[in-house]
């Protein structure tokens, strides 16, 4: 189970209205390398993991990603809550507005809704942890790209925090992979799937 804490992991306080920027950042909620896909990926992979260090890492990183989804949603909310129909039209946010008004709905920057295809679960510790290492790097690149496009310091600060978290998670998943390999046959890591073969 989970317990809610009534605060963000890192402060988000944005005064201006900027739907064009909101549309870009929304990708980190509903896009292929976004926080919702990440959270569901890690929390789903836990069940077939054979070692405690890895169960713990996936539980805690998956939980932290939920807090990141909340930060992204808060950024998008604050950038659009006072939007006028004219601003929606001028910024290109009007297409999203037709279906979702100023609600938070997970889509990519290109408008493609969140898809379960983004959630890699193979049921094999080596395959899944390598998926996670790649996922953290892909999310880091998305934050790099957002930071190339966005100048406002109030928006950049939380994005920089989230970018740094991707790097730390990559490090932790690397250690989880090391733990897995130490527990496996060092002459051939692929001899068995320890998540299945008994």
At its nearest, how many Å lie between other proteins and the CB of residue 102? 12
Tokens at 126, concatenated: 């080596």
Q: Applying CB under 8 A, which of residues 12, 79, 83, 107 lies at the interface with other proteins?
A: 12
At its nearest, how many Å lie between other proteins and the CB of residue 186? 19
At its nearest, how many Å lie between other proteins and the CB of residue 89? 25
Tell me: does residue 9 bind other proteins (CB under 8 A).
yes
Strands (E), 106-174: none
Contact 26, 35 (CB under 8 A): no
Longest CA–CA separation in the chain, Å = 64
Q: Mask of contacts with other proteins, 155-174, x by CB under 8 A? A: -------------xx--x--
Tell me: does residue 38 bind other proteins (CB under 8 A).
no
* H-helix or E-strand spanning residue 24: helix 19-25
Q: List binders of other proteins among 174-193 (CB under 8 A).
A: 175-176, 178-179
Tell me: does residue 61 bind other proteins (CB under 8 A).
yes
Positions that interact with other proteins (CB under 8 A): 3-15, 53, 56-57, 60-61, 64, 70, 73-74, 77-78, 168-169, 172, 175-176, 178-179
């Amino acid at each position: 189970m989970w317990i809610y804490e009534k605060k963000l992991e890192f402060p988000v306080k944005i005064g201006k209205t900027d739907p064009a920027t909101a549309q870009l950042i929304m990708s980190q909620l509903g896009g292929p390398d976004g926080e919702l896909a990440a959270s569901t990926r890690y929390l789903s992979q836990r069940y077939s993991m054979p070692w405690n260090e890895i169960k713990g890492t996936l539980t805690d990183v998956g939980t932290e990603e939920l807090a990141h989804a909340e930060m992204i949603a808060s950024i998008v909310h604050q950038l659009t809550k006072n939007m006028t129909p004219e601003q929606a039209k001028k910024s290109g946010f009007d297409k999203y507005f037709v279906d979702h008004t100023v609600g938070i709905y997970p889509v990519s920057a290109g408008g493609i809704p969140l898809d379960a295809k983004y959630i890699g679960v193979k049921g094999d510790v080596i395959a899944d942890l390598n998926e996670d290492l790649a996922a953290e790097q892909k999310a880091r690149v998305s934050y790099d790209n957002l930071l190339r496009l966005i100048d406002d310091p109030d928006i950049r600060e939380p994005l920089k925090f989230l970018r740094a978290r991707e790097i730390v998670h990559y490090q932790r998943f690397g250690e989880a992979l090391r733990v897995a390999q130490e527990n496996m046959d060092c002459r051939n890591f692929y001899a068995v799937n320890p998540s299945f073969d008994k």
